[in-house]
Structure 1
Amino acid sequence: MNADSSLPVTAEKSFLPNRSDDEGGIDLGQIIDAIRRRLLLVAGVTTVVASAAVLKALTDTPIYEASFEILTNPVTLETRIISAANPQTLSNQQDVVAVSVDEAKLKILKSPKVIDPVVEELQETFPAIDYGDVARGLTVQPTSQDILTVTYQHPDPAVVTAVLDVVEDAFLQFSLEERQRDILRGIDFVDEQLPQLRSRVDALQSQLEALRRQYNLIDPEAQGQQLTQQISSFSQERLDIRVQLNEAKLLYDNLDQQLDQQGELAAASLLNENPRYQSLLDKLLEIDTQLAEDSVLFMGESPEIQYLREQRQQLLPLLAQEGQRTERQLVSMIRELETRDQALGQAIDQLNQRMKVLSSVARRYSDIQRELQIATENLNQFLSKREALRIDAAQRQTPWELLSQPGNPRASAASVKRNLLLGSVLGVLLGIGAALLIDRLSSVIYTPKELKSLSKLPLLGVIPFNEYLERYGPAASVATRLRQAGYILNITNKADEQEQSQASTPFIESFRSLYASLRLLNPDRSLTSLTVSSATPGAGKTTVCLHLGQAAAAMGRRVLLVDTDLRRPSLHKKIGMKNAKGLTDYIASPELSIEEVTQPVPLDDNLSIITAGSLPPDPTKVLSSRRMEEFIGMVNQQFDLVIYDTPPLLGFADAFLTGVHSNGFLMVVGLGKVKRTVFQQALEDLKVSMIPVLGLVANGAKEDQMASSYSYYQYYTQDEALPSQTNGALKTEPAGLLKSLKDLPIVKSMTKK
């Protein structure tokens, strides 16, 4: 088969896109994955930084602290007495009498206005103390709605005790002065507002009286209701007249149209109610009926027919006159209804005009009345508040109350807790930053999502990481196939059986899905040959090549695996076969046939393999030879699908020499093993060679990267029962699996072949 006839299965060639096509922005999923991969680094950095912060706190000079609490909204004895004597006083309103604490008050408590007198008193005992020492160590914080906690920290416990004693008295005195100041300011404000409120009330009363005199109003709302009822009544009557008018016009139009079209057969509803018209119409119908019956018996010019026609012609003018008389009656009715409609419209317009004037006056009346009510209420409230403030101003008891006295200063543990918290937060941030930096510098592809985003190529398959194959190598592969064939039907170690089942099921299904994706790339053109390669060694291309061939063979395709990795062949090792005669021997020896170098794979009737054979000194020469081209054409005719296992792309031309004769490349990328730059360089080389890339295969995906597919297989197989009918249990460890299989008939047949 000519290679040109089986070129790309894909609808269009897929190459690495330009860098400008990449979308920008931050991928939160990639950041979370990077942190998860470097979780130990993040934990280590966090532990180191937090430990250093705690160590610093422990080695620093100890800080002593003490505190006291103040109730900022108590009910004093004076307040109770005044409230009982006069319920209208502000003493009944605790939030007004009390000195409330907000952000502004907290700043004032630590301002020089309050602290400077404290410093002056303290300097008599501690001359070196200043405002900065007191303000830095003093903390004023509300712990609940009405409780204020005052804390002071200092290396000297004696200073802590002295400062809190003086600050306690200063804060209580501040509360008394602040309340007195607020009350006096309130009295002054009320006195300033009272003249304006009185003037406002007088002015509004004068406006209301003038409005009533001008429009002779007593209650605008009642007059408005009367006008509204009249307008509603007239509007309803006018609506009824318009309905009658529309009906009359419709009857007139129908009657006029029918009389014009065929007067003798007019059937308007109004004419149906006219007995004279109906009588004439009945006579006309009788004549028409008689005329129709006689037309059958007599000729058209017979006297009988002529007589009937004359009678019919005499009735037609009478019908027309009766229709015109009815039409004149309708015209008269329409004119009468139009006159009544016009009169009602004029009356409604006059009422609406009066309603507009009344609405404007009523609105002004309501506005003035509302403003007068508000102004009167304000005046009364201000008068009451002035008397209440004067009574409250006479109180001398401090509005704040000391709840707890300052205790003995103690060494503060807050610094250790604070440093631990800050160190932990800083450590987490530094650890995350270091993890992201290292992950960025490593530039390794870890997830299928990164791979797809980087290449913009179809991701045809995601192969899960198979720990069993990774641990036991070829032995696990042979054991798996023998188990599927029915020779290993019971395993003594239940844990090992469950491990194999859960690891292999999604692994095998991923290759079936991969082959299905390859076939569906272009259903109109069959896939006959495929080149499997990778950017660098260790990506798992040979494993993908083998299991992809098994998946295709299981679906009834005759598959040939060709090991064209003539530098380090490994396909025969994966299957456990000998590399006696292979591809290089066929190319070098014209007398050899393809059948002599083709070996059937045990347990797979549709799967065959051609190993690499003897290692040549120049693999490039072998792959570019004329006999190699003939070999490719022959195997394409003998097999449904030929899969070539090639060396890595970078550094060698072998894969390109093979790929140019196949339908395209299948790139295998080992997750966590290939750097972005290396992968991009491989795609650039493919772009230059103009060889189509069918798609990508992500190999070695973790469980969390398999998403719903892995969860489905895990659920589906977790309770799967083992076959009950067995030919004997195989009791051996996986490491010695091949040795234990030697006595099986199928293995003996494999050895003979």
Structure 2
Amino acid sequence: MENHQNSQAFPPENRIDRRFQWLSSINPAHSSEDDEGGLSLGQVFGALKRRLPVIVGVTTVVTSAAMLKALTSKPVYQAGFEILTRPVTAENQVISSVPQTLNSNKEGQPQPEKTVDATKLKLLKSPKLLSPIADQLKAKYPTITDDELAASLSITPIPSSEILAVTLQGTDPEKVKAVLKLVADSYLRYSLEERLADVRQGIDFVNAQVPQLQQRVDAVQDRLQNFRQRYDLIDPDTTGKQLADWTNTVGQQRLDTQIKLNEARALYNDLQELLRRSDDPASTALSSNTRYQALLNQILTVEGDLAKESSLFKDNTPNVQVLKEQQQNLIPLLQREGRRVQEEVASNIRGLEDRDRILAQASNQLSQRVKQLSVVSRQYTDIQQELKIATDNLNQFLTKREALRIDAGQRKTPWQILTPPGDPVPSSANVQRTTLLGVILGVLMGVGVALLLDKLSSVIRDSEEITEISKFPVLGVIPFNSELEEVEQLSSLGKLASFADISGLMQQMGQKVGLNNGARSHGYTSSPFSEAFRSLYTNIRLLGSDTQIRSIVISSSIPGEGKSTISVHLAQAAAALGKRVLLVDADLRRPRVHERLGLANTFGLSNVISLDLEVERVIQQSPTEDNLFILTAGQIPPDPTKLLSSQKMQNLMGQFKDAYDLVIYDTPPLVGLADTKLIASKTDGMVMVVCLGKTKRSVLSQALEGIKPFSVPVLGMLANGSREQASVHDPYYHYYPVKSGSPSIREESVPSVVKQPDQ
């Protein structure tokens, strides 16, 4: 119950992800390449190996057909010639050398085109050139057609050159020679006509463009003349320089005027303050006025004399009265002179303000002209650029027209025959070459057919496919073991032989395959098969990083995948490593554990549940391992599901878990039955066995979908019957057994290959 609750609290996916992080570094089945759906070369090679007979059969058929065709076909004759071509035509020279065209490069120079493009090659084999040749040969060869000529004619450009290799094949050497000569003459005439046609077309094109270009030049020149007259402009750069100088001069003058205006305003304010105060006639604002200073000096003199006289005489004496009158007369004169000076300063201020206003207007006008000049300068530059382009285009076309006229006058043949057509010789397409091509084609077709058949097959072939389908890690890969066939045959004789005979034979076969290596075995034996189970048990132990795994269920999707065999051998491997192990045959429908171990099945699990027998009396000890104990299935009940879901079964599972280090339950297959789901939900987890080469993808997917609603913790998958693993002969499997009373003798374990039978 505790395990069941934990499985509910923590989803199986999270538990598995946490437990299996350590497997990512040792198990290639969890590589990122497989997770991303990448192609596995190992899978491809495995598919080719499995389908090798198909590849050989297809290759044989195709090669035989190629050889038959080569032997029965008539000899083929071949002849050819080489012709030199020119890479650039006259028309392309005209168009590509004109600036601003699509065929011109950045420097305005013509880009050389390819020697002969695909269009030209198709034209050389077109009816336009081959039909006249066929018409000339109809008198001698009435059945000849232009399609026949095109099929037998081959034109191949020689790389990095301007040469075409022309070859012709046929069964009649005279016909090949005659056709090839006519083809060479036809290509020379075609090249001459094409060159002359291109030159004439180029001249016509230039003559048609020159008047338009001349009109364009004239129109742009008229626009430039009108533009200059409209804005009274010769050169925007010169005008812009003049405007800049004027702007600087006006700005400097306005700055000087503003300084003088500020000084005059300050002087005016000082004078106004002086005239408002009558007690202090002296002021620095009037220090530069001579008349004001003279009156001020006179007043000061009179005041000095008045002070002297006042100290000697009384205020009513004549001298004192005269001095006071002089003082009273001079003060109005001084004030009047101050007001006159103030009026002069005010007049100067008004003059400076008028000058500043005029200079501001001039500055604004200059700014407007500068802004207008920037727009005018841009329009002027555009017109100049347009005029230059139009003039350059016109000059280019006039130059090309003269060059084309000279080229047309020369009338040279652009193509030249380098090697004339020779005598036809037998083609190199002989029997040996055809056979080799047949072998290559057959191998390619065989590989394609093999991969297609393997792709269409729904059988799981390797552990990578198991991981891809189940999304669970593969805990181990059990190699294919041929010795298990003999064990299966012995177990099938159980109905005829006695229990003692069967038990002895099973012990002998167990020692032969290298599994009975416990306390009662005579020395250590090892093989890839036995080491696979030790590795499997080690992986299961390492899963329990948080809590130790004490009970597991071994099951499969369908019968016959080897789950009972796996359960027995895993229990033996764990017991051999010193663990106290209980193997419970919980398959109450078709029990097989007692047959695998040669034990009696008189009483077992079904009897303990239904008859309330003491379980200790029913559990049997393995004859080969002291630490291995087996609880067989017992009598087959009418309703196995009812017994497995009973409270008595749950109590027994709890007792088993407390009494043993590891409890292994061999359960029925998952598809169509609920037995395994009932038991697995009460254990630490389930290991699913998948038989390579037998289990189908759809069956495995169905089994995994069936356990999702039951919260069954899946520890991982186990690949059974791997032929790749069985074919590996590791030197570490060699050992030196030590026998009592005898020296060490070097032995080698029995290789384990072939089928592992089960239910």
- Please give the range of the TM-score, normalised by the shorter of the 2 chains: 0.5 to 0.7
Instruction: Tell me whether 1:55 sits opposite 2:104 in the alignment.
Output: no
Contact 1:542 1:645 in 2 (8 A): yes
Contact 2:515 2:530 in 1 (8 A): no
Aligned ranges for residues 169-208 of structure 1 at < 5 Å?
169-208=185-224
Instruction: Tell me whether 1:407 sits opposite 2:422 in the alignment.
Output: yes
Q: 1:608 aligns with which of 628, 644, 653?
A: 628
Alpha-carbon separation, structure 2, partners of 1:603 and 1:225:
112
Counterpart in the other structure of 1:534: 556
Contact 1:74 1:401 in 2 (8 A): no
Unaligned runs of 5+ in 2: 14-34, 89-108, 252-356, 487-508, 753-759
TM-score (norm 2): 0.61
Contact 2:156 2:164 in 1 (8 A): yes
Shift, 1:6, TM fit: 4.5
Contact 1:528 1:663 in 2 (8 A): yes
Counterpart in the other structure of 2:534: 508
Q: 1:33 aligns with which of 43, 67, 72?
A: 43
The residue identity in structure 2 corresponding to 1:44 is: V
Counterpart in the other structure of 1:670: 691
Instruction: Tell me whether 1:564 sits opposite 2:586 in the alignment.
Output: yes
Shift, 1:391, TM fit: 1.8
Contact 2:541 2:549 in 1 (8 A): no
Which stretch shifts more, 25-34 or 364-373? 25-34
Alpha-carbon separation, structure 2, partners of 1:410 and 1:99:
32
TM-score (norm 1): 0.61
Unaligned runs of 5+ in 1: 16-24, 76-93, 236-341, 492-496, 738-753
The residue identity in structure 2 corresponding to 1:513 is: N
Cα-to-partner distance string for 1:445-487 (whole Å, 9 max, x where unaligned): 23445334545xx625431233579689733664684699995
Cα-to-partner distance string for 1:239-275 (whole Å, 9 max, x where unaligned): xxxxxxxxxxxxxxxxxxxxxxxxxxxxxxxxxxxxx
Distance 1:566 1:612, change over 3 A: farther
Contact 2:558 2:670 in 1 (8 A): yes
Which stretch shifts more, 691-700 or 348-357? 348-357
Instruction: Tell me whether 1:379 sits opposite 2:394 in the alignment.
Output: yes
Distance 1:693 1:396, change over 3 A: same
Aligned ranges for residues 567-586 of structure 1 at < 5 Å?
571=593, 579=600, 583=604
Cα-to-partner distance string for 1:593-633 (whole Å, 9 max, x where unaligned): 516734278677xx431242876687949956997666445
Contact 1:541 1:645 in 2 (8 A): yes
Distance 1:225 1:723, change over 3 A: farther
Contact 1:466 1:507 in 2 (8 A): no
Distance 1:452 1:231, change over 3 A: farther
Alpha-carbon separation, structure 2, partners of 1:168 and 1:597:
99
Counterpart in the other structure of 2:277: none
Which stretch shifts more, 65-74 or 124-133? 124-133
Shift, 1:384, TM fit: 2.4
Cα-to-partner distance string for 1:666-685 (whole Å, 9 max, x where unaligned): 43222322123443554566
Counterpart in the other structure of 1:7: 4
Contact 2:738 2:745 in 1 (8 A): no
Contact 1:35 1:436 in 2 (8 A): no
Larger Rg: 2
Alpha-carbon separation, structure 2, partners of 1:562 and 1:397:
101
The residue identity in structure 2 corresponding to 1:432 is: G
Alpha-carbon separation, structure 1, partners of 2:518 and 2:176:
83
Alpha-carbon separation, structure 2, partners of 1:232 and 1:582:
122
Distance 1:346 1:147, change over 3 A: farther
Q: Secondary structure at the match of 1:394?
A: helix
Distance 1:661 1:211, change over 3 A: closer
Cα-to-partner distance string for 1:31-84 (whole Å, 9 max, x where unaligned): 983673244155235514531552354133443322111011399xxxxxxxxx
Alpha-carbon separation, structure 2, partners of 1:346 and 1:577:
124
Counterpart in the other structure of 2:377: 362
Cα-to-partner distance string for 1:533-577 (whole Å, 9 max, x where unaligned): 222344332354356557877999754222334676655677x67
Q: Secondary structure at the match of 1:362?
A: helix
Distance 1:344 1:140, change over 3 A: farther
The alignment yields a C-alpha RMSD, in angstroms, of 5.4
Distance 1:485 1:381, change over 3 A: farther
Alpha-carbon separation, structure 1, partners of 2:426 and 2:655:
91
Q: 1:212 aligns with which of 228, 253, 265?
A: 228
Contact 1:43 1:431 in 2 (8 A): yes
Alpha-carbon separation, structure 2, partners of 1:705 and 1:230:
99
Which stretch shifts more, 629-638 or 157-166? 629-638
The residue identity in structure 2 corresponding to 1:560 is: L
Which stretch shifts more, 220-229 or 374-383? 220-229
Matched residue count: 572
Counterpart in the other structure of 2:621: 599
Aligned ranges for residues 639-658 of structure 1 at < 5 Å?
639-649=660-670, 655=676
Distance 1:60 1:551, change over 3 A: same
Q: Secondary structure at the match of 2:665?
A: strand
Counterpart in the other structure of 1:72: 85
The residue identity in structure 2 corresponding to 1:65 is: Q
Alpha-carbon separation, structure 1, partners of 2:446 and 2:39:
19
Instruction: Tell me whether 1:734 sits opposite 2:746 in the alignment.
Output: no
Contact 2:554 2:686 in 1 (8 A): yes
Shift, 1:530, TM fit: 3.1
Alpha-carbon separation, structure 1, partners of 2:63 and 2:249:
90
Cα-to-partner distance string for 1:328-386 (whole Å, 9 max, x where unaligned): xxxxxxxxxxxxxx999999987765444222222222222222223333333323222
Contact 2:518 2:624 in 1 (8 A): no
Q: Answer 1 or 2: higher relative contact order, Cα 8 Å, separation at least 6.
A: 1
Alpha-carbon separation, structure 1, partners of 2:367 and 2:522:
101
Alpha-carbon separation, structure 1, partners of 2:129 and 2:118:
15
Contact 1:459 1:698 in 2 (8 A): no
Aligned ranges for residues 282-293 of structure 1 at < 5 Å?
none
The residue identity in structure 1 corresponding to 2:56 is: G
Shift, 1:105, TM fit: 2.8
Which stretch shifts more, 65-74 or 579-588? 579-588
Counterpart in the other structure of 1:325: none
Distance 1:420 1:371, change over 3 A: farther
Counterpart in the other structure of 2:271: none
Counterpart in the other structure of 1:249: none
Q: Secondary structure at the match of 1:393?
A: helix
Counterpart in the other structure of 1:395: 410
Shift, 1:660, TM fit: 7.1
Contact 1:35 1:432 in 2 (8 A): no
The residue identity in structure 2 corresponding to 1:7 is: H
Contact 1:599 1:608 in 2 (8 A): yes
Counterpart in the other structure of 2:343: none
The residue identity in structure 2 corresponding to 1:511 is: Y
Alpha-carbon separation, structure 2, partners of 1:50 and 1:723:
53
Contact 1:73 1:99 in 2 (8 A): no
Identity %: 36
Cα-to-partner distance string for 1:696-720 (whole Å, 9 max, x where unaligned): 42323869999xxxx9xx9xx9999
